[in-house]
Chains A and B, each alone.
Chain A
Amino acid sequence: MNRQAVQNQTTAPQGGVTLATALPWIISTIVLLFIPLVFTSNSAITIMNQMAITIIFALAYNMLLGQGGMLSFGHAIYMGFGGFVSVHVINYVEDYSLPLPLPVLPLLGGLAGLALAILIGSFSTRKAGTVFAMISLGVGELIAACSVIIVVFFGGEEGVSGDRTYGLPVFGIEFLQQIEVYYLIVFWLLLSALLMYLFSRTPVGRMANAVRDNPERAEFLGYSARWVRFFSFCASGFFCGIAGGLFAINYEILTEENLNLVQSGSILLITFLGGVGFFFGPIIGAIVFTLLSTVLSLQTDLWQLYVGALFLAAVMYFPGGLAGVIMMHWPAFKMGNIRLLIGPYIKTFTPCLVGILGTAALIEMTFHFRHAAIGDEEMTLFWTTFNSHSVLPWLLVVAVTAAAFWLTRRNLPEMVAAWHTANSLPGVSK
Chain B
Amino acid sequence: MTAVPALNIQGLRKSFGKTEIIRGVDLTIGRQERHAVIGPNGAGKSTLFNLITGRFPPTGGKVSLHGKDLSGLAPFQINRLGLSRSFQITNIFPKMSVFENVRCSLLWARGYRYSFWNMVSKSRDLSEAADAILDQINLSDRRELPAGVLSYAEQRALEIGITIAGGADVIMLDEPTAGMSHSETDYIVDLIRRVTENKTLIMVEHDMGVVFGLADRISVLVYGEIIATGRPEEVRANPKVQEAYLGAALEAEH
Question: Residues on A close to B: CB < 8 A?
Answer: 1-5, 8-9, 11, 13-16, 198-199, 201-207, 209-210, 212-214, 216-225, 227-228, 231, 235
B166 → A minimal CB distance (Å): 6
Given contacts A210-B104, A220-B84, is CB(A202)–CB(B127) below 8 Å? no
Contacts A203-B107, A221-B104, A224-B74 known; 5 new A-B pairs at CB < 8 A:
A3-B95, A205-B116, A214-B93, A221-B108, A222-B108
Q: B61-99 CB contact bits vs A (8 Å, 1 = yes)?
A: 000000000000011100110001101000111111101
The answer on a CB contact under 8 Å between B75 and A219 is yes
- Are A210 and B96 in contact, with the CB atoms below 8 A? yes
B120 x A203 contact (CB < 8 A):
yes
Within 8 A of A (CB), among B79-138: 79-80, 84-85, 87, 91-97, 99-100, 103-105, 107-109, 112-124, 127
CB distance from B72 to the nearest CB of A (A): 15
- CB of B91 within 8 A of CB of A214, answer yes
Complex alpha-carbon distance, A213 and B79, angstroms? 19
Q: Are A206 and B103 in contact (CB under 8 A)?
A: yes
Cβ contact of A203, chosen from B74, B80, B113, B145, cutoff 8 A: B113
Cβ A223 vs Cβ B108 within 8 A = yes
Q: Is the CB of B124 within 8 A of A15?
A: yes
Q: Are B85 and A220 interface neighbours, CB within 8 A?
A: yes
Instruction: Flag if B114 contacts A221 (CB, 8 Å).
Output: no
B53 cross-chain contacts in A, Cβ below 8 A: 220
Q: In the bound complex, what is the Cα–Cα distance between A301 and B85 (angstroms)?
A: 59
Which of A198, A203, A219, A220 contacts B112 (CB under 8 A)? A203
B104 touches A201 (CB 8 A): no
* Residues of chain B contacted by A1 (CB below 8 angstroms): 95, 146
The 15 sampled A-B contact pairs (Cβ below 8 Å) are A8-B144, A9-B144, A14-B121, A15-B121, A198-B119, A202-B118, A203-B116, A204-B116, A213-B95, A214-B92, A216-B91, A220-B79, A222-B107, A224-B76, A225-B76
Residues of B within 8 A of A217 (CB): 87, 91-93, 162
Q: Are A2 and B145 in contact (CB under 8 A)?
A: yes
CB < 8 Å A-B pair total = 131
Q: Across the two chains, which residue of chain B brings its CB closest to A217? A: B91
What is the CA–CA distance of A284 and B207 in the complex, to the nearest angstrom? Answer: 54
Inside 8 A of A205's CB, which chain B residues have their CB?
116
**Given the complex of chains A and B, what is the CA–CA distance between A148 and B91 in angstroms?**
48
B residues within 8 A CB of A228?
114
B119 close to A222 (CB less than 8 A): no
Q: Which residue of B lies closest to A230 (CB)?
A: B114
**Chain B: CB-nearest residue to A232:** B116
Chain B residue at minimal CB-CB distance from A3 = B95
- Most chain A C-beta atoms within 10 Å of own C-beta, residue among B75, B105, B144, B162: B75
A14 cross-chain contacts in B, Cβ below 8 A: 121, 124, 127
Question: Is the Cβ of A203 less than 8 Å from the Cβ of B91?
Answer: no
Residues of A within 8 A of B80 (CB): 222
A201 touches B119 (CB 8 A): yes
Q: Indicate if the CB atoms of A202 and B116 lie closer than 8 Å.
A: yes
Contact of B93 among A9, A201, A210 (CB under 8 A): A210
Query: Which residue among A201, A220, A225 has the maximum number of chain B CB atoms within 10 Å of its CB?
Result: A220
| Smallest CB separation, B160 vs chain A (Å) | 13
Q: Shortest Cβ distance from A197 into chain B, in angstroms? A: 11
Taking a contact as CB atoms under 8 Å apart, the answer to whether B146 and A15 are in contact is no
Instruction: Looking at the assembled complex, report how far the CB atom of A15 sits from the nearest CB atom of chain B, in whole angstroms.
Output: 4
B115 touches A203 (CB 8 A): yes
Q: How far is the CA of A62 from the CA of B59 in the complex (A)?
A: 41
Q: How far is the CB of A11 from chain B (nearest CB, A)?
A: 6
Asked, given contacts A9-B144, A222-B79, A222-B166, whether A2 binds B95 with beta carbons under 8 Å apart, the answer is yes
Which residues of chain B are within 8 angstroms of A13 by Cβ–Cβ distance? 127
Q: Once the chains bind, are B127 and A227 in contact (CB under 8 Å)?
A: no
Task: Return A424 CB to nearest CB of chain B, in Å.
Answer: 17
Q: Do B92 and A203 touch across chains, with their CB atoms under 8 A apart?
A: no
Nearest-neighbour CB distance to chain A for B128, whole angstroms, equals 8
Smallest CB gap from A9: residue in B: B144
Q: Mark B159-191, 1 if CB is under 8 A from A, else 0.
A: 000100010000000000000000000000000
- CB <8 Å contact, A4 and B100: yes
How far is B124's CA from A227's CA once the two chains are assembled, in angstroms? 26
Partner of A220 from B75, B121, B145, B146 at Cβ < 8 Å: B75
Q: Which residues of B contact A9 (CB under 8 A)?
A: 144
CA distance in complex: A199, B55 (Å): 30
The answer to whether A209 touches B97, judged by C-beta atoms less than 8 angstroms apart, is no
**Complex CA–CA separation, A11 to B94 (angstroms):** 21
Cβ A5 vs Cβ B75 within 8 A: no
Question: A206-B104, A222-B108 are known contacts. Are A15 and B127 too (CB-CB below 8 A)?
Answer: yes
CA distance A198 to B122 in the complex (A): 11
Contact of B107 among A199, A207, A214 (CB under 8 A): A207
Whether A199 contacts B144 in the complex (CB less than 8 A), given A2-B95, A15-B121, comes out as: no
Q: Please determine whether B112 and A5 come into contact, CB atoms closer than 8 angstroms.
A: no
B140 → chain A closest CB, angstroms:
12
Q: How far is the CA of A212 from the CA of B166 in the complex (A)?
A: 20
CB distance from A232 to the nearest CB of B (A): 10
5 closest Cβ pairs, A-B complex? A222-B108, A15-B121, A203-B112, A2-B146, A213-B93
B100: min CB distance to chain A, Å: 5
Give A9 to B119 CA distance when docked, in angstroms.
17
Determine the residue in chain A with the shortest Cβ distance to B99.
Answer: A8
Q: Chain A residues near B91 (CB, 8 Å)?
A: 214, 216-217
| Residue contact B96 to A213, C-beta cutoff 8 Å | yes
